[in-house]
Structure 1
Amino acid sequence: MGITLPNLEVFAGGVNKFTGTVPLSLSNASRLQVLDFPENGLTRAIPAENLATLQSLVRLNFDQNRLGSGKTGDLNFLSFLVNCTSLEVLGLKGNHFGGELPASIANLFTQLKKLTLGTNLIHGSIPNGIGNLINLISLGLEGNYLGGSVPDVIGKLPKFQGLWLNVNQFSGPVPSSLGNLTSLTRLFMEENKFGGSIPPSFGNCKNLQIHNLSSNNLNGTIPKEVIGLSSLSISLSISNNFLTGSLPSEVGDLKNIGELDISGNKLSGEIPGTLGSCNSLERLHLQGNKLEGSIPLTLEKLRGLEEIDISRNNLSGKIPKFLGNLGSLKHLNISHNNFEGELPREGIFSNASGVSILGNNRLCGGIPEFLLPACSSKKRHSPRGLLAPKVFNPITCTLAFLIALSCSFAACSYVKKSRDRPVTWHSYMDWKSGVSYSQLVQATDGFSVDNLIGSGSFGSVYKGVLPNDGTVVAVKVLNLQQEGASKSFIGECKALRSIRHRNLLKIVTVCSSIDNQGNDFKSLVLEFMENGSLDHWLHPRDDEKSQPKRLSLIQRLNIAIDVASALDYLHHHCETAIVHCDLKPSNVILDEDMVAHVGDFGLARFLLQASNDPTKIQTMLVGLKGSIGYIPPEYGMGSQVSIMGDI
């Protein structure tokens, strides 16, 4: 190239599929000003000895290639570029350069404006000589293995606009000298080991638009100079640190910010009402703190909010109805607080998949999908003169259990007297009245093959329409000739009668009776799910391949979250922890909105707490069975049933 085209001034071939090495002959093109080949597959080293003759070079860019060996000395070629006095841009990020940043970087091209070395294999520390690059506007060192303290001299580079130090191993305090970078617009320092407090001097960075200090070891309070920096218009993230104190009221000065993330700290006090002045706020994340009080009514002004996460705090009071009037709101997480009263039904609250309310045991009402108790119109009586709750609650639970047990025995006896009369277990105000065997025959057109949805180890599932109210259901008929089927039926009843969650398959009723031939008949009547099992979407049968079933990345992610939410409920939020023991795609059912529901609790196990370690919980039952290919390997080595098996 260089020999054939000695007068070449611009040679740009970025975003192609070039491989091999950088040609040595380019050193003959002495007029070359731009050599730009990012996003290719170039390998080995840059022939800096040859390129050093290109004294007119202004831009040298090899970002996103495969240059370097990952070993010490890969960056020694920088010392050969000292004669390129016109060089303004040097792009080397996304390669395989190893070793340390050479001290010779201090002698390089004072005209350099942009230096990118991110996502390589560089270790060591930043040389103090970096302070000699007085015209540097942007420095990218992200995604390496750099450590030690960040030198104060960086704060003496007057033209700095962008600094990327994120995802490294930097430690020590955040240099207060960074507050001298008054032209700085972007500062990324997340995922390091910075300690100490946040320097108030950041308040001098009057042009800063995005600031990320998340996932470090920072402590102390949030400086009002930082939280009130009005220039922040994109994002402020100081999440996952050890910050304490309250959220300063100066947060209201962030009138143009799009995202505020202060989650995963130890903040206390109330959410300041001044947040209502952040007119451009789209994403608000305050979860995982110790915030108290109620949701400020001033948030009603934030009409552009798309995400609110205030979960895992100590917030209380009623859920403001204005949240349902925020037209842009797509995700609301208020779980694990102390909210009470009626859950609104409008707006975001009409979509159960967009709201999480777990861990707020005093909420009521809402749409049926939330499975909350109905709100009582009567005022609660004073408990004075009644049994104390610590005495009253255990007595009530014991009596309820004995009554339920008695009813179950009575019902079982009654079944023997009547073939068509069902025996039904009920969860209070949840399961509907029972159906008889003849009604199920009518509902499924005689258990017709045309209505067969699927079959498993212990029986078959049919689509049916209940004759009394036209409800479409899934009827799971147990094959009682199969060993363990009856035990599976009882286990599933025990598991499902006392649990409710939006991501668990809801049971409508159960039928234990006798069929037309005088044989025992047991059936579970479940919610019908329009989109069938996840297994059919992932692995369609031959007769289904003509109907394309494809899950987008977002759908897959949502399904994973739905299943994880169900497991979290079973493992951590039931009165007695439950292990599913047979989690697999065919037991994950999708409704018409593609919301996932975990079903088939025939092998579920109730756990007794043996210690404070949930991985050491002992099971009440032994002899675990499961599906080949999905049984946790540790169970085959004699391990006890645990929630870790489901996970």
Structure 2
Amino acid sequence: MSAAVLESATLPSSGTSLGNETDRMVLLDFKKRISEDPFHIMRSWNDSIHFCSWAGVTCNRITKRVLTLELESQKLVGSIPPSIGNLTFLTGINLRRNNFHGELPQELGRLQSLQHLNLSVNSFSGKIPTNISHCTQLRVLELYSNKLIGPIPDQLSSLLDLNILLFDKNNLTGTIPSWIGNFSSLCSLYIGGNNFQGSIPKELGRLTGLQAFSVAVNNLSGMVPSSIYNISSISIFGVSQNQLRGELPPNVGFILPNLEQFHAGGNKFTGNIPASFSNASRLRYLNLPENDLTGTVPGESLGRLRSLVGLNFGANRLGTGKSGDLNFISFLSNCTSLEGLALYDNQFRDELPSSISNLSTQLTSLTMEKNLIYGSINRGIGNLVNLTLFGVSYNFLIGKIPEEIGRLQKLGELYLNDNKFYGPIPSSLGNLTSLTELYVSGNRFEGSIPPTLANCQRLLALDLSRNNLTGPIPQEVIGISSLSIYLLLSNNYLTGSLPAKVSDLAKVVELDVSGNNLSGEIPTTLGNCIMLERLYLENNKFEGTIPQSLKSLRSLEEMDISRNNFSGQIPEFMGKLSFLKNLNVANNNFQGELPKEGIFLNASGLSILRNGRLCGGIPRLGLPPCSNIKAHSSRGLLVPKVVIPAACALASIIALSCFIVTCSMSNKPRGTPVSSRSYKDWKSGVSYKELVESTNRFSRENLIGSGSFGSVYKGVLPSDGIVVAVKVLNLQQQGASNSFIRECEALRSVRHRNLLKIITTCSSIDNQGNDFKSLVYEYSVNGSLDVWLHPTDDEQSQRERLSLVQRLNIAIDIGSALEYLHHHCETSIVHCDLKPSNVLLDEDMVAHIGDFGLAKFLLEATDNPSQSQTMSTGLKGTIGYIPPEMFTGKRPTDGMLGDGKSIHNFTAMAIPDHVMDIVDPSLLIEAEDADAHDDRYENEVQENPITNRHDHGLVQGRKLDECLVSVMQIGLVWDSHALKHLEDSECLWTLLSTK
């Protein structure tokens, strides 16, 4: 029976065999729309058993008609067929937390017995079907976390029996319908995270049984209607991140006595914090950040809230500017469940009270940055044994840091910077073995750097700059190998040399020892810091030459060695560091001819002042000519004539061999895996409000992609105008939170030019009181490799074809990143979800691997075979990146491969004689263009001297088949027997580096 017949058939009465057959055919039609089924749920949907026994299907025991379809969290990919409307006895559908897409069929309106419809946490698009209005028995309608657009249809006003209405986290527009106020049975209303405008309808005040009310993260304006505050049954109240104004009702705790969560941050509320909140005795979360609240904090009344867990008053204008502003803290000691207290960015002017030590021992986060707080840190700080985050930066605190701070064994982030602390840095900080970020810069600390800091082997960022520290840099501290964000020791009075043990900082991105009294030569071991992007040695007493070992710093972007005593010639390799954008060698004693490539061609990024004996260089630098340079200087760039077939074969063999070799697991012993941490920020913090602003409230127009665990939006950070990609985790999706942790663990410990660069993270609470986690990356202008390999018709017309040489370059980039992850990390990392959609291309078409949400850390080698087996079988991910896909243009799951064929055997069957039959058609067009091209391109491939990447030239059509055979043969070398013949990947990468 065809789908068209199913859609138009008139169903017989219940219990008839024809009616049962109709249900069976609908289910088979549903199964046909499923394209991915990783848990093999659909295997049971066959004729060997009755359809009432199929997984997820429940039938009436007598009539055998389908009553419910329950397929939550099965990772199914597919769409809902229109024939679903023929299951007219259906009372419930639950497809929550899958990957269904497409528009919702209007035929859902034929399910007039439907009581529960839950399609949340999928990727449904289009408008909400108006015909759902015919499902008048609906009690539960949950469509949250999809991509639905348009207004809420007025036709839905007929659903008068609704108990739960969840439309949040879509892209709905228009205004909030006032007729929702007619749903007298409604107890939960969530419509936040959309693009609703206008005011909150006062008619919603008629929902006298409402328990959960959230309109957060919209564009709502005006005042919250008094009728809403009068719904005494409300326990969850969420209006955060809108443009709402006015004052909070002074009697809010009396008129909302059942409050458990109150979220109103990110608005324009003014006035005082109502003391009446204390009457809501079950209140657990009170979040009012980023408003214009003034006055004092009603501590005495808030201290009566024994169930209080989170209190956030950050970024307001609280405080009187007089002594006593922090007296309220002493009352909060009665809140024995308090876990988070945020008072940052206000106008509190008071001495830091000793009563902080009496706060709940459950406290994990205490942030008081950017206030006018003075005094010193009391020894009682050691009582807060569960603190993971303590921040008092940008205040006027003074005195010594008590040794008792070393009792905070769980502390992960400590922010003491920009105060007036003095005395020695406590050696007890070495007891904080969970510490990942330590900031004590901008104070008056003196004495030597405590070697005990070496005990903090999880440190990612250490900032001791702008103090009065003296003595040498301890070998122990320079050897903290976990440091990967930065080590900042600048503007102190440190002496001695830069220790050779700097080689242990193999993962550090920034090293700054400028503005000290350091001397001696640059240690050759600095060349081991291969992830270094920024190196600052200026304003010291260093001498000698720039060591040749620094040519290994291929990720270097900025280098300042000015105002030292360096001499000799500036090495040629400095011009070959392709990422170097800023170089300052001023005020030294360099001599000889200046290199003429790379950074030395960019006068705006180069400073060579006051090096009296330099010569040559580009004319814009104004240096004198070098009279002693021979006419046949060997420095000239030789551009060899390379025969195209040989170049293609060699490049493909090297690049793809490296890629395949690095896909195998290394058997070398590795260190223990890095552990989880608290993710307040990466380099500089970003707030939830800033992310909302930067993405236009996570609007549909800014959406650039979505996956199993969240969505990615294009944004512009308001603080500095940087264009970024914001990945927002869908924490309602099972595994998303673990995905966030895995991605942060992986990215915090790796740095490579072909890995997607993370700018910052945000771990906060959204305006509905839910956990919010996101990662902010560099924006990749050219999108993913997937959209280049498999463009839509519109995309095809808007961009150029991906050439063969570009594909080879991308393969080299991917192989380089994988080789680093597998063989050069302290703990080997396996990506587990490598596919074209996770390979991002920047403006120069350089590839960067992203999305480490499924990454695995390989433990040390074990003698236990069962453990090794468990380790390997645990590595799971999407069917994804296979080398031939880049050259055939076919997905691994492409139906055109034929029944039972993988892309592997599909390609193997075609080579060598039929390779041109399976090649991506766009490469054939390239070959035709090449045949017609000028003869001067016939026997050469040009090399770019700056980036060391092949130019995007044309490949001759009559040689293309030879090149592709070489490429695809390497791409097919997957099994372990073939891998043994490749043996040593390091040798291959040595060849690659000299390509």
Equivalent position SS for 2:496: coil
Tell me the distance in 2 between the aligned counterparts of 1:332 and 1:96. Answer: 42
Deviations 1:205-243 (A, max 9, x none): 000110001010000000011011001010100000000
Tell me the distance in 1 between the aligned counterparts of 2:574 and 2:280. Answer: 65
The 8 Å contact of residues 269 and 292 in structure 2, kept in 1 or not, is answered as yes
Tell me the distance in 1 between the aligned counterparts of 2:258 and 2:495. Answer: 63
Tell me the distance in 2 between the aligned counterparts of 1:378 and 1:92. Answer: 66
Query: Which residue pairs with 2:358 in the alignment?
Result: 107
1:201 lines up with 2:463 in the alignment: no
1:361 lines up with 2:606 in the alignment: no
Q: Which residue among 590, 593, 596 is the counterpart of 1:345?
A: 596
Query: Which residue pairs with 2:280 in the alignment?
Result: 29
Query: Which residue pairs with 1:126 in the alignment?
Result: 377
Query: Which residue pairs with 2:257 in the alignment?
Result: 6
Tell me the distance in 2 between the aligned counterparts of 1:318 and 1:128. Answer: 55
Tell me the distance in 2 between the aligned counterparts of 1:23 and 1:302. Answer: 57
Deviation at 1:301, TM superposition (A): 1.0
Tell me the distance in 2 between the aligned counterparts of 1:194 and 1:99. Answer: 23
Query: Which residue pairs with 2:495 in the alignment?
Result: 244
Equivalent position SS for 1:64: coil
Q: Which amino acid aligns with 1:111?
A: Q
Query: Which residue pairs with 1:188 in the alignment?
Result: 439
1:17 lines up with 2:265 in the alignment: no
Equivalent position SS for 1:99: coil
Query: Which residue pairs with 2:367 in the alignment?
Result: 116
Deviation at 1:19, TM superposition (A): 1.3
Q: Which residue among 136, 140, 156 is the counterpart of 2:407?
A: 156
The 8 Å contact of residues 265 and 291 in structure 2, kept in 1 or not, is answered as yes
Give the alignment of 1:31-110 within 5 angstroms: 31-110=282-361
Tell me the distance in 2 between the aligned counterparts of 1:329 and 1:16. Answer: 43
Give the alignment of 1:166-565 within 5 angstroms: 166-377=417-628
Please, which runs of 5 or more residues in structure 1 have no aligned partner? 380-551, 555-647
Deviations 1:14-48 (A, max 9, x none): 22221111112211111111111211111011111
Deviations 1:121-149 (A, max 9, x none): 11111111111111111110111111111
Q: Which amino acid aligns with 2:369?
A: G
Deviations 1:469-528 (A, max 9, x none): xxxxxxxxxxxxxxxxxxxxxxxxxxxxxxxxxxxxxxxxxxxxxxxxxxxxxxxxxxxx
Deviation at 1:361, TM superposition (A): 0.5
Deviation at 1:118, TM superposition (A): 1.1
Q: Which amino acid aligns with 1:144?
A: N
Tell me the distance in 1 between the aligned counterparts of 2:622 and 2:291. Answer: 54
With normalisation by structure 1, the TM-score equals 0.58
Tell me the distance in 2 between the aligned counterparts of 1:344 and 1:19. Answer: 61
Tell me the distance in 1 between the aligned counterparts of 2:507 and 2:282. Answer: 46
Tell me the distance in 2 between the aligned counterparts of 1:349 and 1:553. Answer: 28
The structure with higher relative contact order (CA 8 Å, sep 6+) is: 2
Equivalent position SS for 1:268: strand
Tell me the distance in 2 between the aligned counterparts of 1:211 and 1:169. Answer: 18
Deviations 1:262-299 (A, max 9, x none): 00000000001111111111100000000011111111
Tell me the distance in 2 between the aligned counterparts of 1:345 and 1:15. Answer: 53
- Runs of 4+ that moved beyond 2 A: none
Tell me the distance in 2 between the aligned counterparts of 1:367 and 1:31. Answer: 73
Deviation at 1:70, TM superposition (A): 2.0
Deviation at 1:4, TM superposition (A): 2.2
CA RMSD of aligned residues (A): 1.4
Q: Which amino acid aligns with 1:33?
A: R
Deviation at 1:553, TM superposition (A): 8.9
The 8 Å contact of residues 375 and 398 in structure 2, kept in 1 or not, is answered as yes
Q: Which amino acid aligns with 2:367?
A: T
Query: Which residue pairs with 1:558 in the alignment?
Result: none
User: CA distance change for structure 1 residues 373 and 128 in 2, over 3 Å: closer, same or farther?
Assistant: same
Deviation at 1:172, TM superposition (A): 0.5
User: CA distance change for structure 1 residues 553 and 47 in 2, over 3 Å: closer, same or farther?
Assistant: closer
The 8 Å contact of residues 440 and 464 in structure 2, kept in 1 or not, is answered as yes
The 8 Å contact of residues 419 and 443 in structure 2, kept in 1 or not, is answered as yes
Q: Which amino acid aligns with 2:338?
A: L
Deviations 1:38-95 (A, max 9, x none): 1111101111111112111100011111111122111111111121000000000111
Q: Which amino acid aligns with 1:312?
A: R
Tell me the distance in 2 between the aligned counterparts of 1:212 and 1:553. Answer: 22
The 8 Å contact of residues 587 and 610 in structure 2, kept in 1 or not, is answered as yes
Query: Which residue pairs with 1:453 in the alignment?
Result: none
Tell me the distance in 2 between the aligned counterparts of 1:203 and 1:139. Answer: 21
Deviations 1:579-633 (A, max 9, x none): xxxxxxxxxxxxxxxxxxxxxxxxxxxxxxxxxxxxxxxxxxxxxxxxxxxxxxx
Query: Which residue pairs with 1:522 in the alignment?
Result: none
Deviation at 1:378, TM superposition (A): 6.9
User: CA distance change for structure 1 residues 191 and 329 in 2, over 3 Å: closer, same or farther?
Assistant: same
Equivalent position SS for 1:18: strand
Q: Which amino acid aligns with 2:442?
A: E
Deviation at 1:327, TM superposition (A): 1.2
User: CA distance change for structure 1 residues 163 and 342 in 2, over 3 Å: closer, same or farther?
Assistant: same
Tell me the distance in 1 between the aligned counterparts of 2:551 and 2:557. Answer: 13
Tell me the distance in 2 between the aligned counterparts of 1:106 and 1:2. Answer: 29
Percent same amino acid among aligned pairs? 62
The 8 Å contact of residues 299 and 327 in structure 2, kept in 1 or not, is answered as no
User: Aligned pairs, how many?
Assistant: 382
User: CA distance change for structure 1 residues 304 and 378 in 2, over 3 Å: closer, same or farther?
Assistant: closer
The 8 Å contact of residues 315 and 344 in structure 2, kept in 1 or not, is answered as yes
Q: Which amino acid aligns with 2:521?
A: E
